[in-house]
Amino acid sequence: MNNTERIGQLKKDGILDPQDLGILLTSLTGEEEQYLYDAACEVRRENYGTDVYLRGLIEFSSYCRNNCLYCGLRRGNEHCERYRLQTDEILECAEQGYALGFRTIVLQSGEDLWYSDEKICSIVSKIKDRHPDIAVTLSIGEKSRASYQAYYDAGADRYLLRHETINAQHYALLHPQEMSRDNRIRCLYDLKEIGYQVGCGIMVGSPFQTVEHVVEDLLFMKEFGPQMVGIGPFIPHKDTPFRDRARGTLEDTLHLLAITRLMLPDVLLPATTALGTIDPRGREKGILAGANVVMPNLSPAPVREKYMLYDGKICTGDEAAECRRCMEQRIRSVGYQVVVSRGDWAGAGTE
């Protein structure tokens, strides 16, 4: 089988042998690359047309009790300026987002136990009370099943928790000993069973990542069946143990986005801020490789530069309205349009 045939089969069946996936990830020529992107765009179009969904991201706390080796918010980073948004500040951001046409709000933070379950539930339910037509996504890390259930009962619709890598040895090279791949995966299955639309995902080019790991990740995602997949390049942060590591590449990220689209045709797939950070038109290129979601920042301008997961993060100086406008224009420039909609998963059985 050659690469064109591999892409054809992946598009038709949504799956390939591990060996062929590995070859696809490592040997695409320029022409084959374009063929892959075109196939991914065709599949995305069949499921979502040319609509691109907006998620307004509110980064509400930079405190984190974890010490993931790759992340600028890790507790061991003494140079990270920590902040917490109060409930009324978060509600104000959400309000502003609603006025700008966002119908999904993503609440993201480090793992910050200052926000009790009660607090999180109250924030979620207040947003939902004010705007029943908004979807609320949480991205606040590993919790107990009971906590996840409580947030869900309070009205949370979706949860983003990248699995980071399905390979336990690789996981152990990216995280301190007190964290485990098994607990991460337990969380994902709990979330799914509770009824959330769930997002998993990985960083491309994270330290020690091999092609075999990425193939394992793809097969895991195929089996897990997420509604959303977050894929962005790893970018080093100067105050972490991985400061001297290479960043993930644009090409590898685009290949992986396209392959993910072919394996999970109706998945919600963001063109991430990290992708926009390593290339000035990275997000547009992500859309052209099969992504269909963008996540402009809604956090208050003064705290944005404190939420530094990695170096060089873009859009830290802008206001929410400016981000919204900029994004709309970028998406239009490649022939797609952002829509005012919750942008739920198009697969069977939800909503």
Q: Tell which one of 11, 44, 74, 245 touches ligand SF4 (CB under 6 A).
A: 74
Contact between 297 and 273 under an 8 Å Cβ cutoff? The reply is yes
**Which helix (DSSP H) or strand (DSSP E) does residue 349 occupy?**
none
Give Dmax over CA atoms of the chain in angstroms. Answer: 58
Binding marks (x or -) toward ligand SAH, 59..98, rule CB under 6 A? -----------xx---------------------------
Regarding 54 and contact with ligand SF4 (CB under 6 A), the answer is no
Q: Which stretch binds ligand SF4 (CB under 6 A): 19-27, 70-78, 148-156, 325-333?
A: 70-78
- Mapped onto helix, strand or coil, the DSSP state of residue 58 is strand
Binding marks (x or -) toward ligand SAH, 240..279, rule CB under 6 A? ----------------------------------x-----
Q: What is the secondary structure of 168-229 as a DSSP string?
A: HHHHHHHS-TT--HHHHHHHHHHHHHHT-EEEEEEEET-TT--HHHHHHHHHHHHHH--SEE
Contacted by 48, from ligand SAH, ligand SF4, none: CB < 5 to 8 Å by type: none
Contacted by 330, from ligand SAH, ligand SF4, none: CB < 5 to 8 Å by type: none
Instruction: Give dist(CA 26, CA 233) in Å, integer.
Output: 16
Q: How far apart are CB 121 and ligand SF4 at their closest, in Å?
A: 21
Q: Tell which one of 58, 64, 188, 275 touches ligand SF4 (CB under 6 A).
A: 64
Q: How far apart are CB 119 and ligand SAH at their closest, in Å?
A: 16
Which phi-psi region, left, alpha or beta, contains residue 88 (left: φ > 0; alpha: ψ -120 to 50)?
Answer: alpha
Contact between 260 and 226 under an 8 Å Cβ cutoff? The reply is no
Beta strands in 118-180 (DSSP E): 135-139, 158-160
Q: How far apart are CB 342 and ligand SF4 at their closest, in Å?
A: 25
Edge-to-edge strand list for the sheet holding 56-61: 56-61, 104-109, 135-139, 158-160, 197-204, 228-233
Regarding 71 and contact with ligand SF4 (CB under 6 A), the answer is yes
Instruction: Give dist(CA 194, CA 180) in Å, integer.
Output: 22
Q: Which is nearer to ligand SAH, 36 or 235 (CB)?
A: 235
Q: How far apart are CB 234 and ligand SAH at their closest, in Å?
A: 5
Contacted by 226, from ligand SF4, ligand SAH, none: CB < 5 to 8 Å by type: none
Regarding 238 and contact with ligand SAH (CB under 6 A), the answer is no
Q: How far apart are CB 100 and ligand SF4 at their closest, in Å?
A: 26
Q: Which is nearer to ligand SF4, 35 or 159 (CB)?
A: 159
Regarding 306 and contact with ligand SAH (CB under 6 A), the answer is no
203 phi and psi angles, rounded to 5 deg = -95, 140
Contact between 73 and 80 under an 8 Å Cβ cutoff? The reply is yes
Regarding 180 and contact with ligand SF4 (CB under 6 A), the answer is no
Instruction: Give dist(CA 202, CA 224) in Å, integer.
Output: 14
Amino acid 167 reads N
- Tell me which residues in 83-142 interact with ligand SF4 (CB under 6 A): 110-111, 141
Residues that bind ligand SAH (CB under 6 A): 70-71, 108, 110-111, 139, 141, 161-162, 164, 203, 232, 234-235, 237, 274, 309-310
